[in-house]
């Protein structure tokens, strides 16, 4: 009885699946063909590099202060030790705060990325929706960004169609 149920499920499930139309896109391929995306990404990368350098410089100064304190600690009076330790802790806290402010959840990097890249991604999504709607695709998968798409026949790739919908020349 279980075998019959399995065979019926397999038969009807396969029939249902074959009636559906599937496609996929490669969003990385599409985005890299869009000049505005490359400009926005370059601008974002420059900001990230600048912010990373600022943070690294703060940590270098902090490292030097810690090394100097470790060498001089035995010679310092207790009041001076406490003062320097407090200064080091403050600098460490400020460096971590700057790191969170720049690269943390909801930080400057995230906000700038939302400002520069999300509108372009939204355009790609809208174009993909248009193509999928015109061709009656039920599902459109994205091959990029560590997807779980294990295999995809290149005939089902609609990335070029999405680029045409966006009026992007190859």
With 0.75 as the threshold, say if the pTM is over it: no
5 domain residue, yes or no: no
43 domain residue, yes or no: yes
| pLDDT, tens digit (0-9, with 9 covering 90-100), for 83-131 | 999 999 999 999 999 999 999 999 999 999 999 999 999 999 999 999 9
3 domain residue, yes or no: no
102 domain residue, yes or no: yes
| pLDDT, tens digit (0-9, with 9 covering 90-100), for 17-33 | 556 788 989 999 999 99
Please list the residues that pair with 140 across neighbouring strands: 23
10 domain residue, yes or no: no
pLDDT of residue 49: 97
Residue 29 contacts residue 62 (beta carbons within 8 Å): no
Token digits of residue 141: 């998968």
Domain that holds residue 53: 21-165
How many other CB atoms are found less than 10 A from the CB of residue 140? 19
**Quick one: DSSP state of residue 146?**
S
Q: For the chain, how many structural domains are there in total?
A: 1
53 domain residue, yes or no: yes
93 domain residue, yes or no: yes
The closest of 118, 136, 116, 110 to 27, measured between CA atoms, is 118
In angstroms, the CA 56 to CA 58 distance is 5
Query: Helices marked H in 73-168 — which ranges?
Result: 78-103, 108-116, 118-134, 159-165
8 domain residue, yes or no: no
Instruction: Identify the sign of the CA torsion 50, 54, 60, 63.
Output: negative
């Amino acid at each position: 009885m279980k075998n019959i149920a399995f065979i019926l499920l397999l038969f009807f499930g396969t029939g249902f699946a074959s009636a559906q139309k599937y496609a996929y896109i490669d969003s990385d391929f599409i985005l890299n063909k869009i000049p505005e995306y490359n400009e926005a990404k370059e601008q974002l990368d420059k900001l990230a590099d600048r912010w990373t350098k600022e943070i690294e410089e703060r940590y270098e100064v902090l490292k030097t202060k810690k090394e100097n304190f470790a060498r001089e600690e035995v010679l310092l009076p207790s009041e001076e030790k406490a003062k320097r330790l407090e200064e080091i802790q403050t600098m460490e806290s400020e460096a971590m705060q700057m790191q969170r402010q720049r690269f943390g959840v909801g930080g400057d990097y995230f906000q700038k990325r939302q400002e520069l890249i999300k509108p372009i991604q939204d355009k790609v999504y809208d174009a993909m929706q248009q193509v999928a709607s015109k061709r009656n695709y039920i599902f459109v998968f994205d091959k990029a960004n560590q997807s779980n798409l294990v295999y995809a026949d290149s005939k089902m790739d609609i990335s070029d169609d999405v680029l045409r919908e966006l009026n992007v020349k190859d």
